[in-house]
Structure 1
Amino acid sequence: MFIVSAYIKFLLRSTNQHGVHSPFVYNLITKCFYDRKKYPVYDVLKKYRKSLLKDKRKIQVQDFGAGSRVFKSNVREVSKMAKTVGISAKRARLLNRLVRYLEIDQALELGTSLGIGTAAMAAGNPVKITTIEGCPETAAIAKEKFQEFGFDNIQLKIGRFEEVLGESGQWSEGGNSKFQIPNSDSLKKESRRQATDTHQPTTDNPQPTTGNPQPVTRNLQTYDLIYFDGNHQKKATLEYFEKLLPTAHNDSVFIFDDIHWSKEMEEAWEEIKAHPAVRVTIDTFSWGFVFFRREQEKEHFTIRV
């Protein structure tokens, strides 16, 4: 099976924080990825998942992406979807920590599904999330759960990604292969974090680059984090990446789900890594993290989480 072979290759080339000379990546790994504290908010995420696992309702699911490897029918039980479709409890906790560690203010999610990942970002974090789901009945379950758990920092939109984003002016026309990521003030956040750490490598340049960046489209919403989890196909993944580049700033992070889902997804991941706007990537097998930090040298990491 392809994904088994891909995982073996990942294990052979992956590492941990040792040998990582970038202070930004080293701190991210040690203070966020490997943070083993048990935060109270994890109980909320556990209850959210349990509420879905007990839900025996059946819904008609519309698949717009690569489809399901588990379900043979589009009529699916919510509890069974929660077991197979949503991110794992471990990854939900990581996503929650990541939003907190990077001090994410504005997030976009492509592919709400049952909202497990959305809830992970929202729980206990002062973040505003826009999440898009193509399937109306799946979205209805997620919306119900968001209300049940009091997540008032989530805006759920229903429809195809390109249509929803196009209506709000966030879906740019044409490619963005030469797009230059603009600076942002959030470099101050990393400076504050590094100022409190006396055991870190010192090879990054902490100062933002100078010069006049290529301007972003007027009045375009920018995001600190975009989570791509709605279409596991090469063409669509690359299109979403290119089209949404103008919504990124220097300290944004793009997270791509299932980068080793198939040979095509691995090809898409390699093209994303090679993009001139991309400076740092981290492959954790399940997720691919993309950073645009222009003050850093281009470098790629494969990290066991």
Structure 2
Amino acid sequence: MLFQIKSYLKFLWHSKNEHGVHSPFVFSLLTKCFYDKKPKPEYSILNNYRKSLLENKNFIDVTDFGAGSKVFKSTRRQISKIAQTAGISPKRAELLFRVTNYFKPKNVLEIGTSLGLASSSIALGSKESFLLSLEGCQNTQSVAENLFNKQFPDFNFEFVNSEFSKFLKDGLANSCDWNLIYFDGNHSKKATLEYFDLLLPTIDNDSVWVFDDIHWSSEMEEAWETIKKHPKVKVTIDTFQWGFVFFRHEQEKEHFIIRA
């Protein structure tokens, strides 16, 4: 916790808003997406999805997986408690909706479904998109899939129960270019960089990658620094909670620290 507090204070010291940005691409993203304060009808749908999970008092056996398919924790937890502690926050859910709505990606990959709170933001943000979401825990994934089938029966999505590294190493994610990837799985340096390398062949010029918890630990900050320096990465945006990565060939290599 002390590490995260220090990281956040450092972030606040260096961060800017749209007035400190001279890149037209990033300025447009901030003003038309990040800082869009207009109410959206989809926000109430996101809230209802969250409410249905928070009111679910059933218990499930939850298994978390580390890198290399190693099981490191298996516990019995209440669904409502998982939604309170492990899910994306309401503010972040709305931002992810706006990001997806802004870029309108054709194909979206999510690494780490959990209960589908972020998945619902992605699906509502671009209803024409195909969403493939990976989850290591079968019971958690089943809760999300059942709720999705009830609330979004007409959306084009597939939930897959698999250990992330195995799925990616088997090449099962290389069947298409992923226009948006949301990384919210294993928050370790080794796993994050492994996923990054395995998915690089799937990028196109307009791909958007979003990494969760880039300041979670010193290891995650090291992973973020490595990603920023990669020669194929052109623009990165640090919003403290998330790190945005863009591969646009026409852009100069720039890094932004933005309050969002």
TM-score normalised to structure 2 length: 0.93
Distance change in 2, residues 1:8/1:79 (3 Å): same
Mapped pair 1:293 → 2:248: yes
* Larger fraction in strand: 2
Distance change in 2, residues 1:124/1:4 (3 Å): closer
Kindly state the Cα deviation for residue 166 of structure 1 after the two structures are TM-superposed: 4.1
Mapped pair 1:142 → 2:97: no
Q: Which fold has the larger relative contact order, with Cα–Cα distance below 8 Å and residues 6 or more apart in sequence? A: 1
Matches within 5 A, 1:87-98: 87-98=88-99
Aligned with residue 239 of structure 1, among 180, 194, 198: 194
Which residue is 1:257 aligned to? 212
Distance 1:26 1:235 in 2: 32
Which residue is 1:127 aligned to? 129
Q: Aligned Cα RMSD in Å?
A: 1.5
Q: Secondary structure at the match of 1:123?
A: helix
Aligned with residue 272 of structure 1, among 209, 222, 227: 227
Distance 2:189 2:180 in 1: 21
CA displacement 1:137-163 (0-9 Å, x = unmatched): 100110111012024322100011122
Which residue is 1:49 aligned to? 50
Unaligned 5+ residue runs, structure 2? Answer: 68-72
* Larger fraction in helix: 2
Distance 2:159 2:66 in 1: 19
Which residue is 2:11 aligned to? 10
State the identity as a percent.
Answer: 55
Kindly state the Cα deviation for residue 124 of structure 1 after the two structures are TM-superposed: 5.2
Mapped pair 1:229 → 2:230: no
Unaligned 5+ residue runs, structure 1? Answer: 67-71, 172-219
- Asked if 2 retains the 8 angstrom alpha-carbon contact of 1:280 and 1:291, the reply is yes
CA displacement 1:198-229 (0-9 Å, x = unmatched): xxxxxxxxxxxxxxxxxxxxxx4111000110
Q: Secondary structure at the match of 1:113?
A: coil
Distance 2:191 2:207 in 1: 21
Matches within 5 A, 1:141-290: 141-151=143-153, 152-170=155-173, 220-290=175-245
Q: Which structure has the larger Rg over C-alpha atoms?
A: 1
CA displacement 1:63-116 (0-9 Å, x = unmatched): 1149xxxxx972111101101111111111111111111121110000000000
Q: Secondary structure at the match of 1:74?
A: strand
Which residue is 2:70 aligned to? none
Distance 1:163 1:19 in 2: 42
Kindly state the Cα deviation for residue 170 of structure 1 after the two structures are TM-superposed: 3.2
Distance 2:147 2:16 in 1: 37
Matches within 5 A, 1:88-127: 88-123=89-124, 125=126, 126-127=128-129
Matches within 5 A, 1:65-76: 65=66, 74-76=75-77
Q: Which residue identity does 2:141 align to in structure 1?
A: A
TM-score normalised to structure 1 length: 0.80
- Asked if 1 retains the 8 angstrom alpha-carbon contact of 2:11 and 2:240, the reply is yes
CA displacement 1:159-196 (0-9 Å, x = unmatched): 1112233445436xxxxxxxxxxxxxxxxxxxxxxxxx
Distance 2:171 2:234 in 1: 28
* Structure 1 ranges of 4+ moved more than 6 A: none
